Structure 1
């Protein structure tokens, strides 16, 4: 019998929770969904992008990745205890004052999420247009891999994502 991988189980769990937030609870609007197999490096990626239902100018994206080592280690039952998936969040927000707002964003995210994250903010703008705002791509990468043991934590995880969206909307 086919035994789904850690990646497949987590992907389905994330999909179910986020679609419930969209269809049943009406807290979010899903904007995009990607389920990708990279054949050049034999890796899997799942992304689901959404906004708060009443705030469409700030997006959140959950990114779940499984590498060849993780997929093969699980399927071949190699005794590596560090098999799982990497998890990241990406928020896209327009800001006008990067010196002030980037610091506020960093503090807000560190207050919501635990210490074992890597936070990166990347600013961009369209060349040739009058510079009135920057696009801030805020990436939160979790340093520990996750597996099926964390599926019961997904509802709380998504509540933190919604809290982060709400907080970032106020900055």
Structure 2
């Protein structure tokens, strides 16, 4: 039997919380991916969800750990890394998302990092993405923070749904 990593433990809590919201009907899971990059020794768990039957704005939640996180857990490299994972929250949507950028930035507070992308396609309408990153590694001791992030992300989807554009 193997010893689960901090990433594995966070993933179980994270996945369970999102699936509970899906079961209660608060969200609808659109997709999920559990990826391992052997070349870079990186893991990424992604789950994509929206409000039920409202896919114009959705969230793709990423839990990521790289070699540095794993080595820190094994006490082999702790100077720059911590055992745990990084979280990215990617808002995906149409023009409404583009116009609600400042709302999301204020709602999540200004101390977070945002990257805004405009995706132009010759086959699809223009889409927008807001990539939210946090200035810290999420450790196992921060499980409550992860649960709050998930809950807060659903709250922001509900608030965005109520905004007339």
Query: Which residue of 135, 150, 155 maps to 2:142?
Result: 150
Unaligned runs of 5+ in 1: none
CA contact (8 A) 2:68 2:81 kept: no
Distance in 2 separating the partners of 1:158 and 1:73: 26
Distance in 1 separating the partners of 2:109 and 2:121: 34
The residue aligned with 2:118 is 123
> 2:94 aligns to what SS in structure 1?
strand
Shift in Å, 1:11: 0.7
Moved more, 75-84 or 112-121: 75-84
The residue aligned with 2:88 is 88
Q: Number of paired residues?
A: 162
The residue aligned with 1:110 is 105
Shift in Å, 1:111: 2.1
Shift in Å, 1:3: 2.3
Task: Answer yes or no: is 1:44 the counterpart of 2:36.
Answer: no
Distance in 2 separating the partners of 1:40 and 1:168: 39
CA contact (8 A) 1:108 1:167 kept: no
CA contact (8 A) 1:5 1:75 kept: no
TM-score by length of 1: 0.84
Deviations, residues 113-159 of structure 1 (Å, cap 9, x unaligned): 13331111111222277xxx520011111121101111123332222
The residue aligned with 1:12 is 12
Distance in 1 separating the partners of 2:143 and 2:68: 21
Deviations, residues 72-128 of structure 1 (Å, cap 9, x unaligned): 2213454447412111101111117xxxx63x4232112221333111111122227
CA contact (8 A) 1:50 1:59 kept: yes
The residue aligned with 2:32 is 33
